[in-house]
Amino acid sequence: MKTRMELPTLAACLLGALSTTALAAAPASQLTGWAMIASTYLHPGPVSGQFGISGNGVAGPFAGQPIPGFSGMLPSVNAGSFYGLPDNGFGAQGNSADFVIGYYQVTPSFKISGDGTTTPGSVAVNSFTPFSDPNGYLSAGNFINNGPVYNRSTYYPNSAIAVDASIKTGKLLTGADFDVESFARLNDGSFWVGEEFGPYLLHFNAQGQLLGAPVPHPVLRAPQNPQGGANLPSSRGFEAMSRNADGSRLYVTTEASINSQPDKRLLEVYEFNTVSRQYTGVNFTYAKDSSDFITGSANNT
């Protein structure tokens, strides 16, 4: 079943229902505070960035794990703190085999408007939870070309550099395994994560352990999918995810249209049942204002 959502039309209807006074009184959205993690920050972990990495004034290899940015953020269980999800690390499957994927808990100290500062506030990095596959759901290699990094040979792919022992013994997942982009936290504390190499949906417990095999989409295929038949552009998988109130449904969408879609403004939003671990077949079509726009995130409000 498919439902078409024309958000500009919906917005026009809503605006038409508001009085001129109400519209005039509505405050404009504006930046009120900012905080930043330094590009030189390194979290304890395996040496990373060993495959020609440089940018923002820093260059690999790094004696630890940098935080290149957060593709997804959620409020954490602690007030004022957030869960942050970096993507696959260094921007490509081929250069991110030594980047451990997972989620951070961070607490920003925002510098607020009007305090006269031109510098951002600080961010306390409270913890990092790596994603891992202790039960070996990925070891067969059905979901990742040549299998996960932890289960390959002694060396990182296409290199003579030995895989870090902690990746192999901990069965840690890396940016060569999945390009994680979006996530939702369920009421039991577990996380569903959307990624771009399948694209797959991944279910992890609060300790970052994979709880089952990756769930492929019945139709969508990325160029990195070992099953072949790619019908999505590279790096255009599940960029956005939200959930319903009780967590029984997820709503995921890709960053760009499927290759065969002639109108590149149109994106499909796919409904997923977290209990049965299956797509429901209910899809929504979202029309962007321009084909030049991409979907960056989705949040529950």
- Structure-token pair, residue 174: 């890396």
Helical H segments across 130-274, by residue range: 165-170
Strands 123-130 and 65-66 turn out to be: unpaired
Q: Which residue has the higher pLDDT, 255 or 135?
A: 135
Whole-number percent of the chain with pLDDT over 70: 86
Going by C-beta distance under 8 Å and a sequence separation of 6 or more, which residues neighbour residue 261?
A: none
Q: Which of 87, 90, 84, 78 is nearest to 103 (CA)?
A: 84
Q: Residue 3: what pLDDT?
A: 43
Q: Which of 244, 224, 240, 242 is nearest to 232 (CA)?
A: 224
Q: Residue 23: what pLDDT?
A: 43
Q: Which residue has the higher pLDDT, 57 or 80?
A: 80
Q: What is the mean pLDDT of residues 2-14?
A: 33
Is pLDDT of 300 > 60?
A: no
Chain Cα centroid distance, residue 49: 20
| pLDDT, tens only, 58-78 | 889 999 999 999 999 999 999
pTM of the model: 0.86
Q: Residue 140: what pLDDT?
A: 76
Look-up of token digits 């990746």: 167
Q: Residue 172: what pLDDT?
A: 98
Is pLDDT of 192 > 50?
A: yes
Mean pLDDT of the chain: 86
Is pLDDT of 41 > 70?
A: yes
Helical H segments across the chain, by residue range: 7-16, 20-25, 165-170
Q: Which residue has the higher pLDDT, 126 or 52?
A: 126
| Bridge partners for 103 per DSSP | 129
Is pLDDT of 17 > 70?
A: no
CA dist 157 and 150 (Å) reads 11
Q: Residue 135: what pLDDT?
A: 97
- Structure-token pair, residue 59: 């260059």
| pLDDT, tens only, 205-252 | 999 999 999 999 999 999 999 999 998 888 777 888 999 999 999 999
Q: Residue 259: what pLDDT?
A: 78
CA distances, 31 to each of 79, 239, 262, 300 (Å): 20, 24, 37, 20
